[in-house]
Amino acid sequence: MDLSIIIVNYNTRELTHQTIDSIIKNTQNINYEIIVADNSTDKGQQCNYKNEKVKIYKIENHGFGHGCNAGAKKAQGKYLLFLNSDTLILDNSLYKSVNYINCNDNIGILGAKILLKDGNLDHGCKRGFPTPSAAFYYYIGLDRKFPYSKKYGRYRQTFLNENEINEVDSVSGAFLMISKDLFDEINGFDETFFMYGEDLDLCYRVKEKGYKVIYYADAVITHLKGQSGLHKSSEIVIYHFYNAMILFYEKHYKNKYNKIVSLLVYSAIKVKYLLTLIKHRGK
């Protein structure tokens, strides 16, 4: 088995079915399976796709990372692809991705070029790690003012050509390919991250092992962003989005910076969280 595609379905049956349709329609020349880890709380939204390539497992909802890990335990493929339920596979991108990893050494994780529904790039598909300075430049808009600056554009990697293959710090969990052996070696996703941040954390640990994280521009997918996650503006989702920032900082950066920097980071995250909450409640 070349590839196990793992999709977590949380109350998004129609989107999940649409994603599976796109995989089957646009994937040739590789042997693959589709594993749906279904943690839906609404029985009417549970996946019931009928196809010999699709295996559906009902699990309890303990977060996105837990769902991915549960799916990975059932996987038979040499490689794992963690794929969002609100994505569309284009132009045999899965074959291209598997072939690229097989033909190049020391790749730990590979991500695709992810386009939004309007055709613009989803910048989360090639990111730098959110160091305090990189996050600061991003939030005050210097990356948008100086997009070709390696200093100011570090977080969104705006200085890299979106049509070229490059090594980056992190790719998006909406499309994240990794060998099963390496995923098992690093114990999969850290389930402390309930949702958001688990992809950054996985990439960070893979790079610590000495492997490359690759933005692979020749594989293209569409991300129907806005139909799930933070853009649905649930207060619980908003909480997990900002809590993931704190978890990542405490795990990877807290011991690298002094207390003043840490205090500023925590304060900034709290302010952003409160402002987002106020905006949400005002709608």
Which of 18-51 are b and which e, b meaning 16 or more Cβ less than 10 Å from the residue's Cβ?
ebbebbeebbeebebbbbbbbbbeeeebbbebee
Report how many helices (DSSP H) and strands (DSSP E) the chain contains, helices first: 9, 9
Q: What is the pLDDT of residues 201-215, one digit of tens each?
A: 999 999 999 999 999
88 and 22 Cβ atoms separated by less than 8 Å: yes
- Are 149 and 75 part of one and the same domain? yes
Q: Total structural domains in the chain?
A: 2
- Are 158 and 272 part of one and the same domain? no
Helix (H, G, I), strand (E, B) or coil at 174: coil
Residue range of the domain that includes 248: 235-281
| pLDDT at residue 230 greater than cutoff 50 | no
Q: Cα–Cα distance between 47 and 52 in angstroms, integer?
A: 14
Q: What is the pLDDT of residues 76-100, one digit of tens each?
A: 999 999 999 999 999 999 999 999 9
Please provide the average confidence, as pLDDT, over all residues in the chain.
Answer: 95
Q: What is the pLDDT of residue 233?
A: 58
Q: Where are the alpha helices (DSSP H) in 253-281?
A: 259-281
Q: What is the pLDDT of residues 157-189, one digit of tens each?
A: 999 999 999 999 999 999 999 999 999 999 999
- Are 267 and 183 part of one and the same domain? no
pTM for the structure as a whole: 0.95
- Are 195 and 82 part of one and the same domain? yes
- Are 123 and 246 part of one and the same domain? no
- How much is the average pLDDT of 135-148? 95
Return the structure tokens found at 272.
């952003």
Q: How sure is the predictor about 226, in pLDDT bands with cuts at 50, 70 and 90?
A: low
- Secondary structure (DSSP) of 75-89: --SSEEEEE-TTEEE
| pLDDT at residue 271 greater than cutoff 60 | yes
Q: Cα–Cα distance between 118 and 112 in angstroms, integer?
A: 17
- How much is the average pLDDT of 119-147? 96
- Are 106 and 246 part of one and the same domain? no
- 63, exposed or middle or buried, with CB in 10 Å at 0-12, 13-18, 19+? buried
